[in-house]
Chains A and B, each alone.
Chain A
Amino acid sequence: MTEWLWLFLDLTLILLLLTLAWLTCATHNNQKGVTYFIAFGLLLALAWARLKAPDLALAEAVIGAGISGALLLAAIKHDDDAQSVNKLPSIKLWMVNLLTVALATLMGWGVWHGLELSDGNRLADQVLAQVPESGVTNPVTAVLLNFRAYDTLLELAVVLTAVLAVLTLNPMRKTYVPAEPILQTMLSWLVPLLVVTSGYLLWVGAHAPGGAFQAGALLASALILLQLAQPTAYQAINLNWMRFLLIVGIAVFVSVGLLMMFLNTAFLGYSSSWSGILILVIETAATFSIASALAIAYMGGRPDGWETFETSTSSGHQGGKHS
């Protein structure tokens, strides 16, 4: 009986996902499109949970639906024609459709033939066999922070680069309507809760679903909420702290990696008795960097004084502030 219930739920989920995906693409209204996309992300998180991938479900809910949704909404707020029709010429549209269909068919064909291949010494089996050596018991964290930690290091660099691009291109957005009292009251409950949950996710990542990316994104959402409620709060931000938070994740990661190279010849080759604590140290630093990066991305540009702070101390360079 319960099996039928699950099947019904899964089919509903698939149907809803397809519908929302179609609606997201089909609508010509940016605001609606983004809203559909956020709903799509939340349902996708459920789908991951059904596929027994809770780490991905968490990441999808927090980053895919939450933070990306906020970023997209902030981006279209700039756009004067957010409500208006935003339509590709029909020839281009058909070319895009044709390409997508071709791509999907090609991939489907490949996967269909590939299903027979799955045998032998696959990576996933190796990972599960080696998890006890990694210093953590959650296999996802073992891959992200130990076996393939170098990928994660470069991913952090990608996040930093994206933020550098944001800081390069624009000054910060300033036009905010002050929040209503009800949001202010709610925030005094919500923000501490988010901070605690974020800390919990970070800690629990060692043996259960969670980890730096999810924790960082939650922390960022707390910062974004604060920013929405109190637009002026960020003007008092200490820019040196901001710089420090942005780079601390990669800096700690690289330092640990190089230190381990001196001790154990391989970059990021943790000494096995220390690997648990080293992973936690790296993840904590990464959480701060990810949170500040996402919060800055939401600010949409550099805050006042980001570029001219040094010219006040040196008399020689008086570079005009860029408009």
Chain B
Amino acid sequence: MNNPMVWVIMLPLLASLITLAWPRRAHWIGLLFSVITLAFSMVLVYQVFNGGPQTHELGNWNAGLGIALRADALSASLLVMAMLVFTATTFYADAYFSDVNKRMRFWPLWLMLSTAINALLLSGDLFNLYVTLELLGLSAVALTALSDNRAALQASIRYLSIGLLGSLVFLAGVALIYTGYGILDLELLAQRIQAEPLAQVALTLMSAGLIIKSALFPMHFWLPAAHASAPAPVSAALSALVVKVSLYIILRLWIDVFDVVITPASALLIGILGAAAVIWGSWQALRAERLKLLAAYSTVAQLGYLFIFIPLITGLPEGQLRETAFTALVLLALTHGFAKSALFLSAGVVQHRAGHDRIADLAGTSRALPLTTFIIALSGVALIGLPPSGSFIAKWQLLAASIHSAQWWWIPVVATGSILAAAYTFRVLGHAFGPGDSAGKVLNWGREEIPALTLALFATVVLGLGSAGLWDFISNNSQFIGG
């Protein structure tokens, strides 16, 4: 029985219903269910590790007629990352909301967001992916609007409209595929797709919709406002997970399903947009006046790196080199997920204690909030790509892949991005270590710092030192390579 895939989707959904029906115990239910779901996601990784890619045919109908849930190394590792980030953030959120009514509104939507992320990662069907995208977008928008100030409401309305536009364009592509091929199952499609106009148009439309949703330059304009004005735990999930799962669909389509349709020119184009995102996002992060805005712009930049991998992977011949580049991509995505959520959670701590998150007024934070400052530094290490973080190894392989595939022009982009990342990280730390008492005079330790610390350690230590295991896992159990 391939139960874990069903459970990781159904448990958060059930939890969402229960928190709605029984709001008074919502936080206990939320915590309990996320821990259990996390356990199931680990069982799933174990199954994939031992038995290769997993399939669960819903309703006992063969995939094609029915819908199949699928997990391979990519989706399973992203799922565990998502559940780790989600669980840690859930513990943080329990302490974050002081207003009882706001907490009541938070829980059902929060668990629905988790349902959407997990369902999206495990979906093996093109139309089902659209439904999960809708669920994801709606719950994310409603959560953004929870910090009920004018800026957050405006940002969430814009987020809603742009998200709907993205979904509709994606749906148009799905409809075209259904018109032409009459099937929706990803694995069957991968066998049937030919390089012909309909498939090209459909892929263009779906990619356009997903590019809007994953905020690739120049469609990133909605992201900073939405991510910076949401409540801190929500920002963490939005930046670390929500944009990344849209990118996961792009990867799935470009490398796995539609690989025969991809031309070097289209791969190069998406890579160039990624490069522009790296430079522009990092530059804007350096200029940002608020810590959360900095973190949001840094997300734009970090997502850019992931897009640069696409021309590299499609440019490399099948085999060892391609596997390595692909694993590095996953490693970078995982590291960013952990690091960015840790950064947003610490920004939330700063905002609570100091009453603001203006970078120029952070003086004295290092003494009042030593652990939080340490966490910010750790996430900075991962964002820059310093050893021993996972992104150090990933960026190293990114450079290696640029050389192997004779696309040297990505190297200066990566170098510039990393230097800018160092600059914006040290700018924050420089202010935080300055003399002053803006975050209070007393030394503070909070229980909400522990989840953030855990996430930051995952980004820097666990993924960096444990990357060899990930390497084995991905190269042995991916549908992508040689599939």
- Which residues does A use to contact B, with CB under 8 Å? 103, 106-107, 109-111, 113-115, 117-118, 120-127, 130, 146-151, 154-155, 157-158, 160-162, 164-165, 167-169, 243-244, 246-247, 250-251, 254, 257-258, 261, 264-270, 307-308, 310-311, 314, 317-322
Contact = CB atoms under 8 A, between A and B. Distances in A.
B21 A268 contact: no
Contact of B112 (A120, A147, A157, A268): A157
B17 A307 contact: no
A118 B198 CA distance: 11
Interface stretch (B176-184, B283-291, B326-334, B403-411): B176-184
A47 B50 CA distance: 53
Most chain A CB within a 10 A radius of its CB, from B20, B119, B141, B169: B20
B60 A322 contact: no
B183 A151 contact: no
Contacts of B39: none
B135 interface: yes
28 contacts: A106-B204, A106-B205, A107-B172, A107-B201, A109-B201, A110-B200, A113-B196, A113-B198, A123-B65, A123-B182, A124-B182, A146-B59, A148-B66, A164-B20, A164-B112, A254-B13, A265-B1, A266-B57, A267-B6, A269-B58, A307-B101, A311-B100, A317-B100, A318-B100, A319-B99, A319-B101, A320-B99, A321-B101
A199 B61 CA distance: 30
Contacts of B183: 121-123
B132 to A, nearest CB: 7
Interface stretch (B103-111, B359-367, B390-398): B103-111
B469 interface: no
A110 B202 contact: yes
Contacts of A126: 64-65
A110 B202 CA distance: 7
Given A151-B128, A307-B101, A318-B100, 13 more contacts: A110-B197, A114-B180, A117-B180, A122-B181, A123-B183, A130-B61, A154-B119, A160-B112, A161-B139, A169-B142, A169-B145, A261-B6, A266-B56
A169 B138 CA distance: 13
A48 to B, nearest CB: 16
B58 A268 contact: yes
B388 interface: no
Size class of the contact patch on chain B = 35 or more
Contact of B10 (A117, A127, A162, A257): A257
A310 B105 contact: no
Nearest to A255: B14
Contact of B21 (A107, A247, A261): A247
Nearest to B115: A157
B441 interface: no
B61 A147 contact: yes
A246 B21 CA distance: 9
Interface string B45-78: 0000000000011111100111100000000000
Interface string B127-161: 11001101100110110011010000000000000
A168 B66 contact: no
Interface of B: 1, 3, 6, 10, 13-14, 17, 20-21, 23-24, 56-61, 64-67, 99-102, 104-105, 108-109, 112, 115, 119, 127-128, 131-132, 134-135, 138-139, 141-142, 145-146, 148, 169, 172, 176, 178-184, 196-198, 200-202, 204-205
A202 B176 CA distance: 31
Interface centre among B13, B64, B115 (most CB of A within 10 A): B13
B198 A165 contact: no
B182 A103 contact: no
A119 B176 CA distance: 15
Nearest to B180: A114
A121 B181 CA distance: 9
A244 B56 contact: no
Contacts of A308: 101
Contacts of B197: 109-110, 113-114
Contact of A158 (B102, B138, B198, B204): B138
A75 to B, nearest CB: 13
B148 to A, nearest CB: 8
A165 to B, nearest CB: 4
Contacts of A310: 23-24, 104
Contacts of B180: 110, 114, 117-118
A25 to B, nearest CB: 15
Contacts of A118: 179-180, 182
B182 A122 contact: yes
A162 B141 CA distance: 10
A269 B180 CA distance: 29
Contacts of A158: 131, 134-135, 138
Given A157-B13, A254-B14, A307-B101, A164 B3 contact: no
Contact of B131 (A155, A160, A244, A246): A155
A133 B218 CA distance: 49
Given A106-B204, A157-B115, A130 B65 contact: yes
A120 B176 contact: no
A161 B10 contact: no
A251 B127 CA distance: 23
A123 B198 CA distance: 18
A109 B181 CA distance: 16
Nearest to A275: B59
A267 B59 contact: yes
Contacts of B64: 121, 123, 126
A162 B139 CA distance: 8
Instruction: Give the 7 A-B residue pairs with the shortest CB-CB distance, closest first.
Output: A122-B182, A319-B100, A110-B201, A114-B180, A114-B198, A269-B60, A165-B142
Contacts of A117: 180-181, 196, 198
Q: Which of B10, B65, B141, B176 has the most CB of A within 10 A?
A: B65
Nearest to A261: B6
Contacts of B205: 103, 106-107
A147 B109 contact: no
Nearest to B108: A164
B127 A151 contact: yes
A149 B59 contact: yes
Nearest to A316: B100
Given A110-B198, A158-B138, A168 B60 contact: no
A45 to B, nearest CB: 20
